Amino acid sequence: MSSETEVIRRNKGAKTKVKKSTRQNGDASKQGRRNKRRDARNKQLALILSTIGLIVFLFLILRGRHQRIIGLDSERFARAKALRDAAVSSGKTLLRKTSKTLESVSQNGRHGRHHYELKGEKVQGMRYLDPRQLPPLPSEPREHYKGRNTRGSFRGDGDDDWVPIAESLDKHSGPRVDYVSHKYKYPELVYEPKNDGTYPALEPMRKIFETWEQDDLDSPPDTLVEVLQHFDYQDPKQLEAAVKYRDLELPFKVYNVPEVIAAGLKWTDEYLSRHFDGMHDGIPQSSGQAQQSVDHFFAFHQPARWDVDILGDPPSVDLNWNFEKWARHSVYADEVGLPINETHYYWQSGVPRGERLGPLQDWTFVSRDLPSFSSPDPTFFGFNPPEQKGIQCRFGERGVTAATHYDGGRNMIAMMTGAKRYILSPPNACPKLGVVTSRNHPSYRHSMLNFGRVTLVGEGAKSTLLKMSEREKEWLKIAAEAPTLSTVLKAGEVLYVPSHWFHYIVSLQKSAQCNTRSGIHVDGNQNFGGLHTVEQCISE
């Protein structure tokens, strides 16, 4: 028994040792798992901390870069002042503004002109273009633009020097020349359009500007001779004739348009400010953007593609002005006869194409006030609703000049207030207009040329005195021969610009204008070209 008891005791002891060993091994295994979990947590924490550190590091870098960009943008506009009267010779030579004097307000309430004393020659106060912004000449090889904007948005600071002067003008006398009431001579009505290339009558651009210089806003011809047919919108026979011209893709104007006249009476600065600046009586607020140029010239460009290192400073910048402030400056510009070499401002707004399809209570004031432009059903002005591109509105001040461009859509342009001068050229004039043809260029399909200078080059002109680049000079010589017409669009009128016709615009006084485009006419007119004509012109 004792031996059996001993055996049993030893067996129990062995089992106890095994259990103890197993328990110890289990504890070690658990501890190992805990250690692994702790190590994993530590690694995750380290990764999180390193990520946070990297984010903070990048934030500090980007913040510094953003601050530098803001500084650069503020400095950019100051630098761009020099470009206004820049002379480009062998690349780029800038004239420097040395002094600026403002004459005191005269007793009759008008402010004197703004004077500049410049080092070097000044040609009618106009800046020279950086030749890099222009396309190669026909004799030069094609250029393929590969730049991009690395500086963020271009924004201006505005100039408030004019504010105390504007406030000192006790009596507002309006523009020096009111082109709405000026004297015009219109052609005899032709109800059946001649589709033989004789209408509209076109002249070389040089002759257009020799007859009436672009920037001579204070001394126009006593009677402005119009070449476009001028139809009474409320005369059924004349309206029927206008449709025939429209169907043939020929430009014309209509007048006596009730809703355009009514909008012009309603669109006071106070009314527009309420809708743009937030106090709009329950009607959805309209969006708009002020733009600033160092002088009177504005050229279309896509800021995202504008590379300052390649093209120099952009032609204009966005500005954080509300409509009320823009309107005050526009009144001031009329009052003092703002010179072309002073800072100018432009206001742009648009109505999205889908607004007309939404409920009426969601319409902004433009859609409400111009029902023929916003109707989802066909009208004389919006005659192809499925292809309607919305409504674009442009508010110009005296002297603002928009570089030439074409729109694919068939364009109806209504003038509610004021007046603008339109310089039109047909699609087949494209090769002579200095249109940018590099597809990635920020001004692709547009021209950067200031056509008002075509009279300064060529035979008989003092071209030897000009310090402009050879590229700009040669393009102006070419543009001087482009087939062109000039027409003044004034309050209450609507201008039809056919598909792919180029239009160059001069604001003659404070004005409000809106346009709507209805689809593309591919073929255009057999005498003046169409889509294929401009495609061939701008193809790389």
| Residue 336 contacts residue 489 (beta carbons within 8 Å) | no
For the domain 174-538, what is the CATH code? 2.60.120.10
Burial 267-295 (b: 16+ CB within 10 A, else e): bebeebbbbbeeebeeebebebbbbbbbb
Exposure on the CB side of residue 499, measured as CA atoms within 13 A: 23
Q: What is the pLDDT of residue 52?
A: 78
Q: What is the pLDDT of residue 498?
A: 97
Burial 430-450 (b: 16+ CB within 10 A, else e): bbbbbbbbbeebbbbbbbbbb
Q: What is the pLDDT of residue 293?
A: 93
Query: Minimal CA–CA distance to 228: which of 219, 217, 241?
Result: 241
Q: What is the pLDDT of residue 351?
A: 94
Q: What is the pLDDT of residue 345?
A: 97
pLDDT single digits (tens) 215-227: 999 999 999 999 9
Given a cut of 50, the residues of the chain with pLDDT beneath it are 7, 18, 65-124
| Residue 245 contacts residue 229 (beta carbons within 8 Å) | yes
Q: What is the pLDDT of residue 150?
A: 81
Query: Minimal CA–CA distance to 448: which of 129, 234, 8, 2?
Result: 129
Where is 424: in which H helix or E strand? Answer: strand 419-425
| Residue 275 contacts residue 324 (beta carbons within 8 Å) | no
**Could you say which DSSP state residue 520 is in?**
E
The SS3 assignment for 513 reads: strand
Q: What is the pLDDT of residue 4?
A: 57
Question: Backbone phi, then psi, for 93, in 5-degree steps?
Answer: -130, 125
First vs last Cα of the chain: how many Å apart? 112
Where is 116: in which H helix or E strand? Answer: strand 114-119
Q: What is the pLDDT of residue 42?
A: 78
Where is 62: in which H helix or E strand? Answer: helix 2-83
Question: Backbone phi, then psi, for 489, in 5-degree steps?
Answer: -105, 120
Question: Backbone phi, then psi, for 334, in 5-degree steps?
Answer: -65, -45
The SS3 assignment for 102 reads: strand
pLDDT single digits (tens) 189-205: 999 999 999 999 999 99
**What are the CA-CA distances from residue 334 to residues 173, 250, 279, 351 (Å)?**
9, 33, 26, 28
Query: Minimal CA–CA distance to 113: which of 103, 98, 124?
Result: 103
Per DSSP, the residues of 124-189 read TTPPPPPGGGSPPPTTSPP--------S---EE----THHHHHHH--S----SS-TTSSEEEPPPP
Pairing between strand 317-319 and 288-293?
antiparallel
Hey, where are the domains in the chain? 1-81, 174-538
| Residue 321 contacts residue 397 (beta carbons within 8 Å) | no
For the chain, state the CA radius of gyration: 34
The SS3 assignment for 533 reads: helix
Six token digits for residue 344: 């100018």
